[in-house]
């Protein structure tokens, strides 16, 4: 009878192991998984949204995800989730959507000689522009010098000459008065 019991026990254990594997497989199938950039597997039920409970798989166990921020990889690369002390998502920062552009032509590879020629051409173009600006400044300076000379000539001719004539005529009158005073004092 003990052999029969062992056989029944063995069959029972096999059934239980299969049932346990089936249960684990079935239970995991309703949970979703996502991987972090550190290759940790995070498990959650339902949608990945604020308020969802998060777990981390450590070997075959799943424990509450510790408080912190986690950057995801794979299809969700660039997305960062933040969970509280209870492992509940409190914030999700979505990765910026990639702008899909038509295939661009590969950039032309420039040899050092071509690069040197391009730089030399740019240098020559800048020198031409600077020389043009220098000539314009020289011309402007000449014009300003001529205008200054003209103004100073006009200014020196008119008022100074008249002022001198007025001062001379006043001084001559003063000189005569001064002589008369001096003569009267000396008498």
Kindly report, residue by residue over 33-73, the tens digit of the pLDDT. Answer: 899 999 889 989 888 899 999 999 888 888 899 999 999 98
Confidence (pLDDT) at 78:
86
114-171 confidence digits (pLDDT tens): 888 888 998 899 899 989 999 998 998 888 888 888 877 776 665 555 555 555 555 5
- Give CA angle at 38 (33, 39), nearest 5°: 40
Please state, in angstroms and rounded to a whole number, the distance separating the CA atoms of residues 126 and 183: 81
Tokens of 160: 């100074």
Please state, in angstroms and rounded to a whole number, the distance separating the CA atoms of residues 63 and 86: 11
Domain ranges within the chain, ordered by starting residue: 2-93, 107-187
35: phi then psi, degrees, rounded to nearest 5: -110, 140
pLDDT at 100 over 60: no
Q: Using 50, 70 and 90 to split pLDDT, how confident is the model at 1? A: low
Three-class secondary structure assignment of the chain: CHHHHHHHHHHHHHHHHHHHHHHHHHHHHCEEEEEECCCCEEEEECCCCCCCEEEEEECCEEEECCCEEEEECHHHCCCEEEECCCCEEEEEECCCCCCCCCCCCCCCCCCHHHHHHHHHHHHHHHHHHHHHHHHHHHHHHHHHHHHHHHHHHHHHHHHHHHHHHHHHHHHHHHHHHHHHHHHHHHC
CA–chain centroid gap for 171, Å, is 78
Tokens of 73: 């990889």
Please state, in angstroms and rounded to a whole number, the distance separating the CA atoms of residues 15 and 43: 27
């Amino acid at each position: 009878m003990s052999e029969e019991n062992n056989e029944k026990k063995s069959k029972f254990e096999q059934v239980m192991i299969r049932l346990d594997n089936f249960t684990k497989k079935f239970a995991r199938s309703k949970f979703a998984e996502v991987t972090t950039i550190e290759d940790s597997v995070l498990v959650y039920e339902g949608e990945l949204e604020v308020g969802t409970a998060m777990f981390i798989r450590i070997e075959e166990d799943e424990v509450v995800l510790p408080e912190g921020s986690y950057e995801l990889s794979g299809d969700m690369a660039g997305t960062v989730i933040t969970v509280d002390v209870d492992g509940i998502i409190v914030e999700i920062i979505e990765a910026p959507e990639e702008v899909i552009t038509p295939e661009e032509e590969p950039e032309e590879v420039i040899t050092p000689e071509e690069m040197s020629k391009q730089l030399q051409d740019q240098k020559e173009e800048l020198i031409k522009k600077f020389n043009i600006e220098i000539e314009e400044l020289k011309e402007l300076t000449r014009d300003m010098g001529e205008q200054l000379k003209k103004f100073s000539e006009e200014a020196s001719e008119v008022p100074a000459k008249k002022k001198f004539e007025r001062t001379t005529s006043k001084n001559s009158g003063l000189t005569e008065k001064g002589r008369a005073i001096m003569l009267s004092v000396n008498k």
